[in-house]
Amino acid sequence: MKLLTPDRLRLLVPALSLAVLLGAVFWLQPRTMSYTGLNLLFNLAVPIALATIAQMFVMMVNDLDLSMGTFVSFVACITATWVQSDPLLGYGALALCIAAYSAIGVVIYVRQLPAIVVTLGMSFVWGGLAVLLLPAPGGSAPDWIRAMMTAKPPFVPMAIVASVLIAAVTHWLVMRSSLGVLLRGVGGNEKTVRRAGWSVLRARAIAYALAGVFAVLAGMTLVGLTTSADANIALRYTLLSIAGVILGGGEFIGGRVSPIGAVIGALTLTLAASFLSFLKISPDWQIGAQGMILIIVLAVRLALNRREQRGARP
Amino acid sequence: MKHALILGSLALALMSGSALADTAGKKIALSNNYAGNSWRQAMLQSWDKVTKEAVAAGVVAAADPFTTAENQATEQAAQIQNLILQGYDAIVVNAASPTAINGAVKEACDAGIIVVSFDGIVDEPCAWRIAVDFAAMGKSEVDYLKTALPNGGKLLEIRGLAGVFVDDEISKGIHAGVAENPQFEIVGSVHGDWAQDVAQKAVAGILPSLPADIVGVVTQGGDGYGAAQAFAAAGRPTPVIIMGNRQDELAWWKEQKDANGYQTMSVSIAPGVSTLAFWVAQQILDGKEVPKDLIVPFLRIDQDNLEANLAATPTGGVANVEYSQADAIAVIDGK
């Protein structure tokens, strides 16, 4: 049994980069090395991690979702308004959103449309609906979500518990369950899956529905943290979620994804921003520096991939 | 402002020196959501200038500005949480959203940090708000016209960007002022989007349909120069155009003043309001009782202080004023 299988190596890079960044943050700002410190450092990463997982389900079947940010914003608006005032309508609307996501997956497959175009179009639909629902920033978080997001479990802060939980559940779902194998198969080799007698249509509908479920969770947890919503609250999540999946060892094609990696990727992105802010880098340079961190991590991974391929050849 | 200054220094003298030294070890941070226009740039420069002096004088230990790269609420929420971790005693916020960073603001308050929001204010009750009374600003324009044009007459209104809160508020104030003074009548209204070129086109478009005896133009800032150009191009006499503190507007006014004694006034919000927020935060840290809602004074330029303000305003910029500790105390005391 080899200890460093390619899959583990793939996970090692994001895990190491998170560890290095965390070490640097601890060194720069010892205050973060505490219960509250870790919570403040990572609590906004929880919705990002969920959105990253949602994006991962779409990327797993070789598509890309450009509507993630606006969709999460829309969900946040529903959560801060209907779920709060009229729970039946609110949860109904959220269920409809998930159904809509599944339907989008079906339409993309049946009509053989490019997912980027369809989801880009949908991003305007979600954005428009969000503005209609909440024209001015406002609303309030349902009490139970607020309580959940500000909970203080013993010893380990909520943000860490939630991240581990998300990683564990999705790891089981994607890497261990038979459904996960099927979904990854669709991304890896659709033809083979079809010839083996599976319904690719059904698999893709499920993948998009799962993406919808996790995106809805992202929107709800986000409102739990911010206490209210606005129609543009999560626009960054589109790019963050894609970057998170890639950073965590996922690929754009081939059904090669890693749920644990995706969660780590989301945490790393959040931490990178904090790290730069602790360094007191001028804001003009921060966005570029954030990009540099991404490029460095990806370069390391590329180098490892090359080694892996060279090793695979006879 | 001069009035406020005198009252402020009086208040300062009454407070005695003992209250000043207590904040020497305190650190204040500025959390800013956007830096992409001249107003915000001036705001950051003012902050830099005033706080550097304050730090050098030992009033506070640090006053660092932080700007988010993407003008997004979630990004600013993360930034505020980082500032909490960095151990700042007070955070001055120009917020991306009035509600979406409430969670982070609450975290800061719970950590015992003073949060003062200005310009883009937050509605979390534990934070202080330094708001702009735009309606009062609009009304002050009509109040000026009342004295400048005692006989009243027909007015043209130039509005800002449609659908923006600030536009509605200023316009509301102007209309309230006109309702109180029936000698005035608004005969036309166009959207100038706070930009000279847009305002010029819009005014040029509506002028042919307006009566010849327009006596005044009420504006929102950034549109006065464009309006003046449109009137000149149409060969009409120049009415009293209220200006908005932009350098091009002040330069045009000065030119007219020298040529034919043209009279008007100019009003807008000074970007230096960031420094007012800084001093308010310092006062709160100092233990002063400060009401949660404060109103920013406008920066008004009149015939007699036009030259001084024009000289101090960079080309393409906005007239600015940096507030002092005394100004802040005056605002807190409601003077």
- CATH class name, domain B134-268: alpha beta
Which tokens hold the place of A41?
């450092």
Cβ–Cβ contact B53 with A under 8 A = no
The total number of residues shown for chain B amounts to 335
The encoded tokens of residue B251 equal: 């330069």
Verify whether the Cβ–Cβ distance B75 to A280 is below 8 Å: no
DSSP B208: G
| Residue-level pLDDT at B34 | 81
CA distances from A304 to A265, A307, B244, B272 (A): 17, 5, 60, 52
| C-alpha separations of B125 from A73, A141, B116, B332 in Å | 24, 15, 11, 18
Tokens of A258: 């890693």
CB-count exposure of residue B228 (10 Å: 0-12, 13-18, 19+): buried
Task: Check: CB of residue A101 under 8 Å from CB of residue A118.
Answer: no
Q: Which residues pair with B141 in a beta bridge?
A: none
Contact: B100, A286; criterion CB under 8 Å: no
Residue of A nearest to B123 (CA): A138
CB contact under 8 A, A287 and B70: yes
Q: pTM of the predicted model, to two decimals?
A: 0.79
H/E element, A310: helix A283-312
The two tokens of residue A124 are: 């305007």
Query: CA of A95, closest CA in chain B: separation in Å?
Result: 24
- Between β-strands B184-191 and B153-159, what pairing exists: parallel, antiparallel or unpaired? parallel
CA–CA separation, A136 vs B131, rounded Å? 18
Domain residue spans of chain A: 43-258
Per-residue pLDDT of chain B (335 residues; tens, 9 = 90+): 445 545 444 444 444 444 445 788 999 999 998 877 777 888 998 999 999 999 999 999 999 998 887 778 888 999 999 999 999 999 999 988 888 899 999 999 999 999 999 988 888 999 999 988 889 999 999 999 999 999 999 999 999 877 666 788 899 999 999 999 999 999 999 998 888 889 999 999 999 999 989 999 999 988 999 999 999 999 999 999 999 998 999 999 999 999 999 999 999 888 899 999 999 999 999 999 999 999 888 889 999 999 999 998 888 788 888 899 998 998 888 76
d(CA B204, CA A39) in angstroms, rounded, equals 58
Interface-testing mutation among A50, A68, A226, A293, with chain B (most B C-beta atoms within 10 A) = A226
Q: CA A275, CA A284: separation in Å to the nearest integer? A: 15
- Domain locations along chain B: 2-119+270-299+320-332, 134-268
> Which range has the worst mean pLDDT, A63-77, A93-107, B118-132?
B118-132
Query: Considering only CB atoms, which residues of chain A are within 8 Å of chain B?
Result: 29, 31-32, 36-37, 40-41, 43-44, 47, 136-139, 222, 225-230, 232-237, 270, 273-274, 277-278, 280, 283, 286-287, 290
Angle at B301 between CA B300 and CA B304, to 5 degrees: 140
Tokens representing residue B235 in the block:
């060969």
Closest by Cβ to B101, choosing from A36, A226, A237: A226
Neighbours of A198 (CB within 10 A): 15
* B134-268 has the same fold as B2-119+270-299+320-332: yes
| Contact between B100 and A229 using a beta-carbon 8 Å cutoff | yes
All residues of chain B having their beta carbon less than 8 Å from the beta carbon of residue A29 are 85-86
The partner residue sitting opposite A233, judged by closest CB among B73, B85, B106, is: B73
Q: Which residues of A touch B77 (CB under 8 A)?
A: 44, 225-226
Structural contact between residues B104 and B93, judged by C-beta atoms closer than 8 angstroms: no
CA–CA–CA angle A64, A67, A71 (5° rounding): 135
Residue B70 contacts A where some CB pair is shorter than 8 Å: yes
- Cβ–Cβ under 8 Å, residues A133 and A78: yes
Q: Between B178 and A295, where is the model more confident?
A: B178
Fold of B2-119+270-299+320-332: Rossmann fold (3.40.50)
Retrieve residue A144's tokens. 């139970």
Nearest to A236 among B72, B85, B98 (CB): B72
Q: How far is A29 from chain B (nearest CA, A)?
A: 7
More confident residue, A22 or B120: A22
Residue B104 pLDDT: 94
Exposure class string for A222-248: b at 16+ Cβ within 10 A, else e: bbbbbbbbbbbbbbbbbebbbbbbbbb
Mean pLDDT of chain A: 90
Q: Has residue A249 got a pLDDT over 90?
A: no
Map tokens 């003008």 to a residue: B71
Are A96 and A246 contacting, i.e. CB atoms less than 8 angstroms apart?
no
d(CA B96, CA B119): 10
